[in-house]
Amino acid sequence: MSGVDRLSIAGVDSPASLADRLDGAGYLADEGLATAAYLSLRMGRPLFLEGEAGVGKTALATALAAVAGAPLIRLQCYEGLDVTQALYDWDFPRQLLHLRATEAVRGGVAGTAADVDSIERDLYDRRFLVARPLLAAIESSPSVLLVDEIDRADDEFEAFLLEVLSEFTITIPELGTVTADTSPLVVLTSNRTREVHDALKRRCLYHWLDHPGFDREVAIILRRLPAATERLASDVARAAAVLRGQGLVKPPGVAESIDWTEALLALGARELDPDRAARTLGAVLKYREDTDRVRAAGLDALVR
């Protein structure tokens, strides 16, 4: 990417300093994750994050954007996502209105060939172009581009994304080439519903995000929900760890631990007890099979 600057964050000159800035933005990163994010910044390489849902992959991109003072542009991937939906599209209704307005001004009288060419050029002016996430990230540089759940996209889209991430340059036939002045900081996430191709992974720095340890999960809950008591946060973190070891269809992530704590707070809880645990399971478990399994095992054991 010769000639393209890299996004930089003032005052961030080490993984520890980045971790401190992320802490200030409400995100508690461990040493490994802070190092991976710091190297992504310094080397100008995309950061590829894999891990279970709810462990904080998307939240990291949000925190990095806050720390960098840059807009967060999100591309949510899904099966069938195509280039047009990710790159750009023409605003056909506005083009049609412009064409009709031009005809009205001319009174429906046909013009010369030069007039026709001029109208056609006007129809493909930049004002009629709708920038989708990839183009928006390049035009809004510096920015943070979150490519969320890349494992849900098709192989063909992966190949196209690899090409874009190589140069951060996009060619629009009607307008020309658009190149980022400052390459976006790119964060790709995957829940590993399928394996992402090696070619894309080689382009990135890789980091596996696991569920946090007990102390860190308690700290995250208290940071997000200051009204929670330390006892309640500890009870929830301990119970979440137990749930993750029960072979559930969808083990709870940190996001579910936070939701569970918030639900308990709404009921006035200062600690976790079997009764409130039973009434709030829907905040932490999302499958009927998981709820049935936990109830069958007994909520007393979960709370204890």
Whether pLDDT at 1 is above 50: no
Q: How confident is the model at residue 292 (pLDDT cuts 50, 70, 90)?
A: very high
Whether pLDDT at 2 is above 60: no
> What one-character-per-residue DSSP string does 25-56 give?
TT----HHHHHHHHHHHHHT--EEEEESTTSS
Residue in 25, 107, 110 with CA at minimum distance from that of residue 59: 25
Q: How confident is the model at residue 98 (pLDDT cuts 50, 70, 90)?
A: confident
Max avg pLDDT among 45-49, 127-131, 180-184: 45-49
- Region 245-251: mean pLDDT is 92
Whether pLDDT at 109 is above 60: no
What number of other Cβ atoms are within 10 A of residue 228's Cβ? 23
Whether pLDDT at 177 is above 70: yes
Whether pLDDT at 119 is above 80: no
Q: Prior bond to 184 cis, omega within 30? A: no
Instruction: Show the beta-strand stretches assigned E in the chain.
Output: 5-6, 47-51, 72-76, 88-90, 129-131, 144-148, 169-172, 176-179, 182-183, 185-190, 205-209
Q: Is 67 helix (H, G, I), strand (E, B) or coil?
A: helix
C-alpha distances in angstroms, 80 versus 90, 132, 145, 158, 188? Answer: 20, 16, 20, 12, 18
C-alpha distances in angstroms, 147 versus 49, 73, 75, 79? Answer: 10, 9, 5, 14
Whether pLDDT at 113 is above 70: no
Whether pLDDT at 225 is above 70: yes
Q: Which of 45-54, 119-128, 183-192, 236-245 has the lowest mean pLDDT?
A: 119-128
Q: How confident is the model at residue 4 (pLDDT cuts 50, 70, 90)?
A: low
| pLDDT digit string, tens, across residues 141-158 | 789 999 999 999 998 899
Residue in 200, 197, 259, 263 with CA at minimum distance from that of residue 224: 259
pTM: 0.86
pLDDT value of position 102: 80
Locate 12 and state its tokens: 């961030």
